[in-house]
């Protein structure tokens, strides 16, 4: 296993380029199962979740080729309609193959994902939505078995706004016979990017950008060429890290319109932001004012950036409350930050970070992807050296994080470690 060794007391300065969005790529790639031919995905990020999705699609017979950040996939000759547990246990987004497989091939066998490090994460809406479109669903031996002669359009309301369920059901409805109305569809940019891709494949979808979609099913779709949107969570991580180290960083290749909740919070904290069309320059020359945030659905503050905000608030001049309405138990990073000396209290669905406590290097453990980012950030301002174990969590979603941070002045290196 790998660990990071980080020396504290740095100031980040310079320019960083943001990669394509992991969560968008994971949703776009399985759409290649909906039509024959070669699909081209540009600005594809290079991280562990992407490799897992590539291997999963490869195991089903999808042919692929990667040239820099251009990925081509061709699912014309599928050999299997199954997503085995070995892949799904590594990455929940494997469930995205479910909708396309049932819609196009009339059958799918996908392992149930189970829980995750920040609480129970059901997939009931994915299954209810497919049932509403006429699929029969059984769960047997830990696997979802979905079948349908041909899906039929219907009305489905998402009781909870869900990124994953929205993506899965939209991908299924585009090939269903007749008209589908979906209500309370998630508005996250990753969902919209899938809709845009489907439209470019010949899908008939109206209401894009609203929570109600009207979809007229088509008999077949065609291959396409898409560019992955910038990763708003990676961008948020670099913006917050820059501010936290009282740095001055130009974060390039971003979509500022996807980051308004984060940039607003940074401005409220006292940071200076210069927002361009595809870059954001941030600078900070003092300790931030405490700013409360509530992680909620888009365009609200993203749950995937709340751990990073908690780390930032360790340097604030007061107390800030971090609340997560999406995953109320997503505070696994708190005990690890406390090992560095952080003063944080937790309550039900929130924590309160009190700024100003002295942080000193220690050995800490990553518990999930974004929690790991908050540990790296805290380590950069702690006195002395911090070891962050199990950085495989980080590698799931950040491309070359240590190199990008290192280029901005962070003192961070990766080492192999033996864990008992």
Catalytic residues: 116
Residue 232 tokens, joined: 């708003």
Quote the least distance from Cβ 114 to ligand UD1, whole Å: 12
165 binds ligand UD1 (CB under 6 A): yes
Report which residue's Cβ sits closest to ligand UD1. 164
Could you give the 3-state DSSP secondary structure of residue 352? strand
Q: What mask of x and - would describe binding to ligand UD1 in positions 76 to 105, judged by CB under 6 A?
A: ----------------xx------------
Quote the least distance from Cβ 189 to ligand UD1, whole Å: 11
Q: Judged by CB, which is closer to ligand UD1: 126, or 404? A: 126
Among 12, 326, 359, 373, binds ligand UD1 (CB under 6 A): 326
Quote the least distance from Cβ 74 to ligand UD1, whole Å: 23
Upstream peptide bond of 383 is cis (omega within 30 degrees of 0): no
Residues 6+ away with beta carbon under 8 Å from 194: 24, 27, 28, 31, 167, 170, 171
Q: Judged by CB, which is closer to ligand UD1: 124, or 220? A: 124
Could you give the 3-state DSSP secondary structure of residue 66? strand
Quote the least distance from Cβ 374 to ligand UD1, whole Å: 14
What angle is formed at CA 26 by the lines to CA 21 and CA 333, rounded to 5 degrees? 70
Q: Judged by CB, which is closer to ligand UD1: 23, or 315? A: 23
Quote the least distance from Cβ 94 to ligand UD1, whole Å: 10
116 binds ligand UD1 (CB under 6 A): no
304 binds ligand UD1 (CB under 6 A): yes
Could you give the 3-state DSSP secondary structure of residue 36? coil
Residue 96 tokens, joined: 């995205």
303 binds ligand UD1 (CB under 6 A): yes
293 binds ligand UD1 (CB under 6 A): no
**Euclidean distance between CA atoms 33 and 49, whole angstroms:** 18
- Cα 127 to Cα 31, 124, 156, 218, 386: the distances in Å are 18, 5, 11, 22, 43
Residues 6+ away with beta carbon under 8 Å from 140: none
Stretch that binds ligand UD1, among 117-125, 143-151, 314-322, 353-361 (CB under 6 A): 117-125
29 binds ligand UD1 (CB under 6 A): no
Which 119-138 positions form the footprint of ligand UD1 (CB under 6 A)? 121-126
Task: Report which of 327, 331, 283 is spatially closest to residue 310, judged by C-alpha positions.
Answer: 331
**Euclidean distance between CA atoms 11 and 409, whole angstroms:** 7
Could you give the 3-state DSSP secondary structure of residue 403? helix
| Residues in contact with ligand UD1 by the rule CB under 6 A | 23, 26, 92-93, 121-126, 160, 162-165, 186, 190, 303-304, 326-327
């Amino acid at each position: 296993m790998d660990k990071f060794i980080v020396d504290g007391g740095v100031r980040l300065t310079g320019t960083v380029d943001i990669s394509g969005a992991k969560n968008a790529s994971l949703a776009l790639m399985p759409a290649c199962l909906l039509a024959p031919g070669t699909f081209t995905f540009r600005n594809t990020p290079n991280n562990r979740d992407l490799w897992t999705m590539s291997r999963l699609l490869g195991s089903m017979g999808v042919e692929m080729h990667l040239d820099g950040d251009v990925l081509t996939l061709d699912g014309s000759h599928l050999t299997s309609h199954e997503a085995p547990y070995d892949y799904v246990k590594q990455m929940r987004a494997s469930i995205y193959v479910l909708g396309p497989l049932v819609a196009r091939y009339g059958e799918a066998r996908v392992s149930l994902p189970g829980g995750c490090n920040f609480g129970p994460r059901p997939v009931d809406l994915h299954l209810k939505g497919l049932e509403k479109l006429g699929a029969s669903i059984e769960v047997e031996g830990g696997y979802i078995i979905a079948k349908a002669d041909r899906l039929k359009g219907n009305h489905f309301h998402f009781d909870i706004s869900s990124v994953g369920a929205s993506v899965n059901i939209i991908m299924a409805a585009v090939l269903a016979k007749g008209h589908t109305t979906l209500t309370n569809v998630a508005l996250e940019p990753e969902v919209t990017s899938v809709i845009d891709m489907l439209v470019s494949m010949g899908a008939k979808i109206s209401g894009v950008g609203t929570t109600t979609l009207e979809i007229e099913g088509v008999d077949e779709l065609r291959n396409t060429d898409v560019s992955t949107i910038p990763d708003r969570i990676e961008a948020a991580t670099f913006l917050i890290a820059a501010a936290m180290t009282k740095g001055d960083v130009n974060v390039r290749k971003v979509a500022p319109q996807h980051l308004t909740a984060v940039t607003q919070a940074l401005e409220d904290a006292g940071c200076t932001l210069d927002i361009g069309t595809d870059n954001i320059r941030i600078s900070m020359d003092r300790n931030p004012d405490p700013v409360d945030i509530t992680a909620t659905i888009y365009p609200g503050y993203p749950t995937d950036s709340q751990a990073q905000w908690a780390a930032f608030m360790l340097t604030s001049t007061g107390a800030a409350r971090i609340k997560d309405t999406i995953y109320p138990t997503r505070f696994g990073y708190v005990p690890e930050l406390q090992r560095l000396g952080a003063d944080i209290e937790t309550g039900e669905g929130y924590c309160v970070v009190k700024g100003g406590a002295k942080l000193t290097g220690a050995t800490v453990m990553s518990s999930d992807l974004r929690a790991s980012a908050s540990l790296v950030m805290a380590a950069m301002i702690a006195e002395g050296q911090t070891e962050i174990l199990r950085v495989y969590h980080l590698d799931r979603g950040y491309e070359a994080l240590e190199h990008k941070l290192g280029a901005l002045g962070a003192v961070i290196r990766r080492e192999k470690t033996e864990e008992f």
